[in-house]
Chains A and B, each alone.
Chain A
Amino acid sequence: MNIPSNIITLIAGIILTMISLWYGQNHGLMPVAASEEATQVDALFNLMVTIACGLFLIVQGTLIFCVLKFRRKKGDTTDGPPIEGNIPLEIVWTAIPTIIVFVLSIYSFEIYNNMGGLDPMASMASHHSPAQHHHHEPMLAMTGEQSQLSLGIGDSPDENSNSPVYVDVNGIQYAWIFNYTDSGIVSGELRVPVKHPVHLNLKAGDVIHAFWLPEFRLKQDAIPGKDTTLVFTPTRIGEYPIICAELCGAYHGGMKSRLYVLSESDYEKWLQENIMAQSAQEANTVAISTAEMSDAEYLAPYAQEMGVNQEIITQLRPIQ
């Protein structure tokens, strides 16, 4: 009698493990991964899904089994067995979750470090000379020399040696403005070359926004008066959504933009066209320098209407 039930437990355990392992790899719940770090986050997520799936099946299976097997028979008013605990069993189910969360913490720490989250400053200091920043610095931002603690996600320690792209990102109700510090291009959309590290310096003009790139598994709040950082290296050419993830007012749901990851040659082409367009525009129309733009942004609380901001943005946008 005892042996068959052991075998049944064993078979159930094997099936359960197989299902969990299979589901952990085939849940299909994540959008495409467009960077190396996103793939790592997915691997972590898959592991967590596998473990969660196993625990889910064990507990729900137990509950369903209890409901089916341990129903009171009609007319039976006696009590069940007076089992008040079982120390070895309790030790086991205290130890297993402890080990699981320990492993998950270490693994998460590892991946977070690979993403460059532990020391976003290090990357900024090594790659980024403050001088590059200076001439486009909006008023509220801390001046080039990063005096305060850097926040966000920095370079991966093993970042490739391709030249980085630096972009100042400004969140205002309800748009993102991208300001290429090296070329002076200002745009409402973000274009970056594939396989080059992208350094985003996030600022907010009015309220807190959050810069979310689902395909890169990256998110960082843009906080008024406090610059934050996101660094990533896209590995996949394509078009991706940029979403504001922090409630920022009535049209928060409409605060979206696009990220275009271009091939190196396409990016170069776009860069040249826009530098020319930008200078042409500056020559004959009202020049919208970044300094003035920041004023507009910091006045944005008064321009809560969606329409007003859209106008500003289209003005700011070079050729689409």
Chain B
Amino acid sequence: MTEAISTTKQRKWQDYFTFCTDHKVIGIQYLVSSFFFYFIGGIFAEIMRTELATPDPDVVSPELYNQLLTLHGTIMIFLWIVPAAAGFANYLIPLMVGAEDMAFPRLNALAFWINPPAGVLLLSSFFVGAPQSGWTSYPPLSLLSGKWGEEFWILSILLIGTSSILGAINFVTTILKMRIPEMDIHSMPLFCWAMLASSALALLSTPVLAAALVLLSFDLIVGTSFFNPAGGGDPIVYQHLFWFYSHPAVYIMILPFFGIISEVLPVHSRKPIFGYRAIAYSSLAISFLGLIVWAHHMFTSGTPGWLRMFFMATTMLIAVPTGIKIFSWCATLWGGKLNLNTSLLFGIGFVSSFLIGGLSGVMIASVPFDIHVHDTYFIVAHFHYVLFGGSVLGLYAGVYHWFPKMTGRMVNETLGKIHFAMSFIGLNITFLPMHELGLMGMNRRIALYDIEFQPLNLIATIGSYILAASTIPFIINVIWSLNKGKQAERNPWRALTLEWQTSSPPAIENFSETPVLWSGPYEYGIDSEPRDSDSIRDLLAEVASEG
């Protein structure tokens, strides 16, 4: 009966192009638009890798190369990973806590609709000469290389920053205030914990970035000298302000996917998450420590020795909560009954490649070693293992996991596994050789390099083509599954979190009746009865009819 009601009220495709306050529509809007920008950022990356296949700058001009690297970084961070995480958060948080919608639905829609103009503004900077000073935009270089391109970049980031503040307010309020009464804070899904930690960081640090960019704007347009040494300004102050946001930004980009992995692994290995509280609180610990490590990006900059030592110690400490998560995920898999579908493969791939980024992360926390590798390809390798091996694989794990819920269709597992294999192999071929390149002496952000570095660069370029090709089976899979995929049941994975208690896709008001908290979010194997809310519901219906 409830199924019939929910299927009559479905969203039309047109709804996804409107100012719609339904969190599920907004979630899909975020996900689809961020994927569009991923595509553009990916093309920029492929052009750069093609340039780097040979030592000479022969494919694009060095100026264009710098524009591409600036926009690649900016797009991948601000228009792909951050909004994609917001997409999952929007779609899942209300469902996971049993709410009808977000706390502030209109603010939520506004937060999304700030993004497309910001993206268009950023891309249109190509018409006025795109920014060339990297996504870090350090003055004085950023003040010298093209005024309007730089200004477009600043405005676009300010818009996206505003959007992420609005989003974070919504996430925190919804998680804290809109849970169904039976769900206390220690029985909410770990994704909610992760979003709490990530949103706190966004709220605390984004305003500082905004301040830095507004001042940079003044230097650029009005000719003030906040950061311009030619007028007595201090470029190092900009670096501090910038990294005060941009280091936490790394955690804003990875914490949501930590959350997704903590959802995906238990469901598909049919075991409770190992160490719920440790994982939940380690997210908070990471978020707190994340606020006091920023100057590790400045170990070779204007940072005095004692400060370098302080930031080395705090940065190293982050390895502890991160290690707790990795070990807990491994222990979750251990002894389980692994259903090795695409979602779980991406989940395990996430742990495997994020680990590499984590290990190199501890190394570069060490000042004497970082002095050698700072601004080299070792760093490029490190953060791509974190952000591609981590965030992007985690994102795909989430897409494959919740696709049935979001669309009402199952994905094609064969195409999914091809997608996984190509992504995992491609990412390692692309980014593993970069460690050696950096150690041996190849600096980053260069369009031309010494001939001795060519073999490894060529390997990396080939890897990047495999990565580019890996999106083809994914796109085919999505299009095919949307039209021809098997109809998804309410709860195809027999998962315990609340979003699986409603129909697939959920009705407009989410739950046709108030969801019931049958158990904790991960209590698999506690009783051996199949955990299908449908069957429980049937059972209740039977009892009722008998009565």
The tally of residues in B whose CB lies under 8 Å from a CB in A reads 101
A63 within 8 A of B: yes
B327 within 8 A of A: yes
CB pair B336–A253 under 8 Å, yes or no, is no
Residues of A within 8 A of B362 (CB): 48, 52, 100-101, 104
- Partner-contacting stretch, out of A74-82, A186-194, A270-278, A308-316: A74-82
- Partner-contacting stretch, out of B179-187, B306-314, B498-506, B507-515: B306-314
* Nearest CB of B to A5, in Å: 14
A12 within 8 A of B: no
A247 within 8 A of B: yes
A-B Cβ contacts below 8 A, count: 291
CB pair B235–A208 under 8 Å, yes or no, is yes
B485 within 8 A of A: no
CB pair B441–A241 under 8 Å, yes or no, is yes
A246 to B265, CA, bound (A): 41
A145 to B326, CA, bound (A): 52
Which residues from 218 to 240 on chain A have a C-beta closer than 8 Å to any C-beta of chain B? 218-221, 223-226, 228
0/1 string, B346-381, CB within 8 A of A gives 1: 001001100110011011011111011011100000
Q: Closest residue to A250 on the B side, CB-wise?
A: B62
B536 within 8 A of A: no
Contact of A45 among B333, B335, B363, B450 (CB under 8 A): B363
A94 to B330, CA, bound (A): 14
CB pair B330–A30 under 8 Å, yes or no, is no
A98 to B306, CA, bound (A): 22
Contact of B337 among A49, A76, A153, A252 (CB under 8 A): A76
Given the interface pairs A66-B334, A84-B272, the reply to whether A250 lies near B132 with Cβ below 8 Å is yes
B323 within 8 A of A: yes
- Partner-contacting stretch, out of B18-26, B254-262, B398-406, B524-532: B524-532
Q: Closest residue to B273 on the A side, CB-wise?
A: A84
CB pair A90–B324 under 8 Å, yes or no, is yes
Q: Closest residue to A78 on the B side, CB-wise?
A: B528
A105 within 8 A of B: yes
Give the interface of A toward B (CB within 8 A): 29-31, 40-41, 44-45, 48-49, 52, 55-56, 59-60, 62-63, 66-67, 70-73, 76-86, 89-90, 93-94, 96-98, 100-102, 104-105, 108-109, 111-112, 115, 117-120, 140, 149, 151, 153, 206-208, 210, 212, 214, 217-221, 223-226, 228, 241, 243-254, 301
Give the interface of B toward A (CB within 8 A): 57, 61-63, 65-66, 132-134, 138, 140-141, 144-145, 229-230, 232, 234-236, 269-278, 300-306, 308-309, 312-313, 316-317, 319-320, 323-324, 326-328, 330-331, 333-340, 348, 351-352, 355-356, 359-360, 362-363, 365-369, 371-372, 374-376, 435-436, 439-441, 443-450, 494, 522-526, 528, 530-531
Nearest first, the 8 A-B pairs at minimum CB distance are A253-B446, A79-B525, A225-B229, A214-B441, A101-B316, A80-B271, A82-B525, A80-B336
